Structure 1
Amino acid sequence: MTVRTFTAPIALLTIFAALLATMYLGYASNTEKNLHDFPIALVNQDLGDTIDGAPANLGAQVTDGLVAGIPADKVDLRVVGIASARTQLENGEVYGAIIIPSDFTKRLAILGAGAVVPGEIERPVITVQSNPRVGPYTAGIMSRIADQALAQVQQTVGRNLTDRVTSTVGADAAAQISGAARLAIADPVHIVDVPFRPMPDGAGQGLVAFFYTLILLLAGFTGAMIIHTLVDSILGFTPTEYGPLFVHPPVTGTSRLRTLFIKWAIIGTAAPVLSGVFLGIAKLLGVPVSSPLLLWLYGTLAVIAVGFTALSVLAIFGTAGLMVNLIVFVVLGLPSSAATVPLEAVPGYIAALARFEPMHQIYLAVRAILLFDGRAEAGLSHGLWMTVLGLAIGVILGAAVTFAYDRRGLHRTTEATAALVPARAAS
């Protein structure tokens, strides 16, 4: 027993704990401060009207006010037409939309006149559409941004409308305006907050896409560890304990590359079965699955990609590969997945991980299949090709490195290890 026996594990655990805290606490601690490039569509359909004998378009003024008032460093405000806004909402490219209707100016003019002329009037409407299918947290962020921006619009429009009514009827007549009418013109715009496409029953407010992603990734990740341990035990490379029993078969001498091929074959055979189990249980639990075949096929690919890559990491790094896999697939993967908090509301170092982290790529594809009708533009295409790329990288690295180990004579035997140690010491 040496000091290193105690200090080495404690040092490793301390580093691991610091990484966990940095990723997970940084991920959720201050979404408002971390907000950047949050995509919102702004649509002005206002046709304008004639007010006091002059043409006016108050919707355009509101649009200009929103563009100027919403901080550009936090929100990517896209002024687009209604068709483009709907397409971007359907593809999950924007997290919400602010829509000014075609009769906005006309209704404001009628509201101003109604303050002094009897008759039925309707307040002008601005619609705020959230996109809950993008993620469970995005609707709340969208509502807060819209509330803050439109509160200023409400105040400005109300003040201008009050001034116009007062100047039109004169100060004496303005004094006779009822309190209810004054309140109406001071707070003239009716803000309607509605989801673009409400979540279907059984979708868990969108969390079902995240958890389906998680079980696919865990199937590949933990499946690789189980297969790695069992196959190495059967081939005699590592001992196995069953309670008090200690079993260590003789070493078979199978090469590293062939051992990796055996492990790949096992996870490849198990992947369609596991994907089918997940799909069947999802259907039994009432999860809405509009494209079951597509989900099964992609689930199979995802399990294979994660499993092959995790097995390659274990073949390359040995025991240390367990920690590498845990960090890559879980510790870094969960915060950068964008499955709960969107990437536009997390620190930049976490958002940067999403460019290559496996969980984010799988989530984009699963979310598109479950919540966006399998639309390629909604993330399926990107997630699919990134999954294939990850699989290719895992296969190439695993095969190349284990082949190089075998060529150098670094076989999995005590003799090879003993021959390697003096060579390292001499170098």
Structure 2
Amino acid sequence: MTTTTTKTGRRRRFASDEAHAWARNLRLGNPHAKSLLRAIALYSNDEGSCIAGIGTLAEDTDLSPDTVRKRLAFLEEIGAIIRLPRFLDDKGRANTEGRGKRTTDDIRMQLDADVDLIEARARGDLPADDDDAAEGCDPADEGVVSPRHQQGLNEVSSDVQPSVRTRLALGQPSDSSEGLISEPEPEPSPQPPSGGSVSQAEPDGWKDFEADWAEPIVRHQLAMNEWVALSDADRLLARQAARGYVAWRKGQKKPPNVLSAHLFLRDRGAWPGFAARAPDAPARAAESDLPWIVEGSAEDRVIRWLYRRTNVAQPLIRAGDGGKRGYRARKPIGADLLAMAEHVDQRAWRLQTSDEAGEATPRRVWLWGFYPQGSAEYAAWQRRFRDWTGAGLPNERDDAGRQGIRMPRPWPPRVDGTWAAGGADDEQGLADEGGRG
């Protein structure tokens, strides 16, 4: 699968090996789920989207079809993927609006998701279940599969989610799966092991989000767990995106099925687009009011570098007035974005010299600093990248196995384009600017 092209003006496409590296580095503690995720990565396109049938994935992984269905649902519950139902209308055209016959799902890898949260859900350190399981009720009483070994199928309470069939217990053998439905209807997976109690106190802003969502939230506790992990700024954006999502659904001739609230909260990359559709969103600038970015200019080099870092699709080059090829910026260009131009061509690492390596194989020496997840520098850079591109930076690991990001400076540029020198005053100033993104 091709990764890049050298022809100027053609957008960079992310290859399956990059998605495969992301899947390979996840620690799920579930060999079948990880094998399946790596198979999905091999079919993913430049946006991390995979359309591969159950049979294809089963053949690639040497797993039975019902095991593939269960592990797909497990990967979705821990936030590694989301699945979007697809349909074929009477003219054979694919759509997501529910027109026609159900076909193979669109499986989207959550490459920008928080890796620590995915691994924690897989271990069971974070609950990935609804209210009843979080409160410690007997799962068998409410139709939820216990994480312990058991045989047979558990009945699902029809008043909780009538559309979901009985799910297979963890101990259920593959040859005893008569209740499993065939593709394209997915089979829910067993729960990850429970990892402690969950506070039942409603977090700040949760009631407001429920009002903005305007639909019953079936997986209530699961959605609330996602909400708790959001920062105050992300909660405001999520609320506006929810209002935009509701407005978008109402505007469709045949509104699609409502997306689960917890999946909506996990897919942060979709928020900016829906937020712009909210009834109270600021009016979009007319295209003619946005700057024309000339191909090869300093602005173009910065924008393309930022979009590559955040896995955002590159803009389409076209001919403009006066014969200058380029594209319209998606938003006004600020001085802080232009300040990044000095780092676009810098290398983030170098190889050791022969003197440094001695008799050993030369290793990579990082020239950029590493800022672990949870640090103030990490949060400041993520806020700024979301402001610039609408998406955060994907995490990487340092030699100690910590999750974080590598950047040329500890702090992003200020709004006026100047750089922070470091220290408590600069940290506070950048925190005050964080409301922008």
TM-score (norm 2): 0.23
Which of 1 and 2 has higher RCO (CA within 8 Å, sep 6+)? 1
TM-score (norm 1): 0.24
Q: Quick check: which has more Rg, 1 or 2?
A: 1
More helix by percentage = 1
